[in-house]
Amino acid sequence: MPATRSVYVCQQCGASSPRWSGQCASCEAWNTLVETVVSRAANAGANAGARSARARERAASAGSAAISPIGGVSSAEASRLPSGIGELDRVLGGGLVPGSIVLFGGDPGIGKSTLLLQLAGRLAAAGHATLYLTGEESASQVRGRAERVGAVVDGVGLVASTDLATAVGAIEASAPALAVVDSVQTFASAELGGPAGSVGQVREVATRLAEVAKAGATCVALIGHVTKEGTVAGPRTLEHLVDAVIYLEGERMGTTRLLRAAKNRYGSTDEVGVMEMRSDGLVEVADASRFFLESDQPPVAGSAITIALEGTRPLAVEIQALVAPAGYGSPRRATTGIDVNRVLMLIAVLARHAGLNLTGHDVYVNVAGGLRIEEPAADLAVATALASSLRERPVREGTVLAGELSLSGRLRPAARAERRMAEAARLGFDRMVTGPERGSSGARPPAGQLVAAADLRDALREALVKD
C-alpha cells in the first residue's frame, strides 16, 4: 500500500488545506472541510501544476489503458448471484452482482441487520461463503440473532471489529461471495483523525470498500443508518460512491417493510419488495398484491381501492379518508402514505368541479398497510374516498378506481389500465372506473369491466352507491 496522509478537502469547491478550519479559505463557505486520505503518489500528481502541459500529457499516455473489445467483456447479468430472497432480488434487478457495493439504508431498528444476516445465511446455505463484519454489535449478539433467523450456517464467517483495515484484510483474505459491513457509521480508518461516523470517515470507509469489491468478486453490502432526508453522513455523501442504494422502509411499530432502490447501476429503481417482520426475521409476503387490502368486507364509507403500479408490479391498495366537521381555527389536513399537497389539490378540485366543499371540515387521508403512494393514478381513489366520507356513501362493491385528475376536473386514464384491471379481476373486483381511453394497447378486458368516466363528477356517479 502506498504511504498515506490526509488533507481537508472543501466539499463545495474542492480546495484542499493541510489543516481543518471552520471556513474554506478559497470559496469562504462554512463547515465544508472534510478530512480525506490521499496517497503520496496521488499527491505528487496533484502538485504537478508546475509541470508543462506536454509533460502531463506524456505522463498520462505512459499509463496505457487496457482496451477490450466490448463483445469480449462479460456482462454483470451473466454472473448475478440470486440472493435466495425473492423480494430482494426483485429490487436488486435479479440478484447480487459480484464485485459491486450496495448500500442498505434505513432508520435504526427497521431491520437492516436482520435482513443482511438472513441474506448471509441463505447464500452460505447455497454454498457461497459469506462474511459478516460487525462494528455495531458484539459477535455473541450477532450469533443470538442468527439463531432466531436461521443463519447459524457453516460458511458464514463473523468478524467483530470497528477498524477499516481489519475489515479490508478479512475480505481480501477470505474473498467471500458476500461481505456485510454493519455499519458504515461504526467503522473507521486509523489514517484519519476524525471519529467513526464523521463525514470524512464514512466517505473513506465506503471508498475503500468499493475498491475492495471492484478488485475481486465480492459483493459488499454496506449498512448505513440513513434516511432519504438524511444529510451529513447520509446518502448525499454515499450515493455516488456505491453501485446501488436500497432503502428498507416501514413504520417502526408496524410489521410491513418495503424495499426500494433509490439508485441501481444494475437494474431499475422503481420495483418494490414487500416483506414482513416476524419473530423469526423478515419473511417474504406471499401475495403482495392482496397484502395492502385492509379487509375483504364490503366497502364502508370513506374507503376506496386503487390498483397502484409499483414498477411492474400491480398492488391493490386501500385509501381511507375521514372528513369531519372542523372545530375553531383552520381545519386540519393530515395524511400518511401520500403527499399532503396532492390531497390539498384534490380537495380544491372536489370543491370546484364536483360541488363538494370541504372548507369547514378536518380531512385525514391514510394509505392502508404502510405503503407510500407517489403515482398520480391514485388521485381518483383519494378523491372518491373523500367524497364517500363526506356523503356517507360507500363505493359500489367490486369497484376499484385508477386515474389522474387534472385541475380542470378532467380524468386521465391510468397508465396500463388493462394490466391493472387484470390484477383487480384476479382479486375479485369486477369493474374499474378510470379515464377515457386513449388508443388502448394489449389485451382488452371483457366489456363492461373498464368504466371510462370523462370527469370527476361522472366518475363519482359511477363509483359511489346510489341513495
Which positions touch ligand TYD (CB under 6 A)? 106, 108-114, 145, 148-149, 277, 279-281
- Do residues 46 and 17 touch, judged by C-beta distance below 8 A? no
109 binds, among ligand TYD, Mg ion, none (CB under 5 to 8 A by kind): ligand TYD
Identify the helix (H) or strand (E) that includes residue 399. Answer: strand 399-401
C-alpha distances in angstroms, 394 versus 85, 247, 376, 462? Answer: 39, 36, 22, 12
Distance of CA 301 to the CA centre of its chain: 33
Q: Considering the complex, what minimum distance in angstroms separates the CB of residue 117 from Mg ion?
A: 9
Q: Considering the complex, what minimum distance in angstroms separates the CB of residue 95 from ligand TYD?
A: 22
**For Mg ion, which is the closer residue by CB, 134 or 201?**
134
Beta pairing class for 33-39 and 4-10: antiparallel
Q: Considering the complex, what minimum distance in angstroms separates the CB of residue 361 from ligand TYD?
A: 38
Beta carbons within 10 angstroms of residue 150's beta carbon = 14
What cell numbers appear for 121 in the block?
445465511
Q: Considering the complex, what minimum distance in angstroms separates the CB of residue 6 from Mg ion?
A: 28
304 binds, among Mg ion, ligand TYD, none (CB under 5 to 8 A by kind): none
**For Mg ion, which is the closer residue by CB, 113 or 185?**
113
Environment class of 275 (CB within 10 Å of its CB; exposed 0-12, middle 13-18, buried 19+): buried
**For Mg ion, which is the closer residue by CB, 280 or 339?**
280
H helix runs in 317-366, sequence order:
340-354
The residues in 106-125 that bind Mg ion, with binding defined as CB under 5 A, are: 113
Q: Considering the complex, what minimum distance in angstroms separates the CB of residue 209 from Mg ion?
A: 17
d(CA 428, CA 407): 32
Closest CA to 261 of 253, 252, 271: 271
**For Mg ion, which is the closer residue by CB, 101 or 180?**
180
Beta carbons within 10 angstroms of residue 405's beta carbon = 25
**For ligand TYD, which is the closer residue by CB, 145 or 352?**
145
**Number of residues in contact with Mg ion, rule: CB under 5 A?**
1
Q: Considering the complex, what minimum distance in angstroms separates the CB of residue 137 from ligand TYD?
A: 8
**For ligand TYD, which is the closer residue by CB, 275 or 363?**
275
**For Mg ion, which is the closer residue by CB, 115 or 349?**
115
What cell numbers appear for 319 in the block?
385509501
d(CA 217, CA 171): 10
Q: Considering the complex, what minimum distance in angstroms separates the CB of residue 77 from Mg ion?
A: 31
Identify the helix (H) or strand (E) that includes residue 457. Answer: helix 456-463
**For ligand TYD, which is the closer residue by CB, 84 or 394?**
84
Q: Considering the complex, what minimum distance in angstroms separates the CB of residue 398 from Mg ion?
A: 44
110 binds, among ligand TYD, Mg ion, none (CB under 5 to 8 A by kind): ligand TYD
Q: By Cβ distance, which residue is nearest to Mg ion?
A: 113
130 binds, among Mg ion, ligand TYD, none (CB under 5 to 8 A by kind): none
Q: Considering the complex, what minimum distance in angstroms separates the CB of residue 203 from ligand TYD?
A: 21
**For Mg ion, which is the closer residue by CB, 105 or 299?**
105
Give the torsion sign (CA, 107, 110, 111, 116): negative
d(CA 20, CA 359): 55
d(CA 446, CA 307): 18
**For ligand TYD, which is the closer residue by CB, 148 or 391?**
148
Q: Considering the complex, what minimum distance in angstroms separates the CB of residue 145 from ligand TYD?
A: 5
Angle between helix 456-463 and 379-391 (nearest 10): 60
298 binds, among ligand TYD, Mg ion, none (CB under 5 to 8 A by kind): none
Give strand pairing partners of 305.
318
What cell numbers appear for 277 in the block?
417482520
Give strand pairing partners of 413.
403
279 binds, among ligand TYD, Mg ion, none (CB under 5 to 8 A by kind): ligand TYD
**For ligand TYD, which is the closer residue by CB, 178 or 315?**
178
263 binds, among Mg ion, ligand TYD, none (CB under 5 to 8 A by kind): none
Q: Considering the complex, what minimum distance in angstroms separates the CB of residue 304 from ligand TYD?
A: 32
- Do residues 241 and 220 touch, judged by C-beta distance below 8 A? no
Q: Which amino acid is at 344?
A: L
User: What are the backbone dihedrals phi and psi of residue 443, each rounded to the nearest 5 degrees, phi first?
Assistant: -65, 130
101 binds, among ligand TYD, Mg ion, none (CB under 5 to 8 A by kind): none
Identify the helix (H) or strand (E) that includes residue 164. Answer: helix 164-174
Q: Which amino acid is at 186?
A: T
Q: What residue ranges bind Mg ion (CB under 5 A)?
A: 113
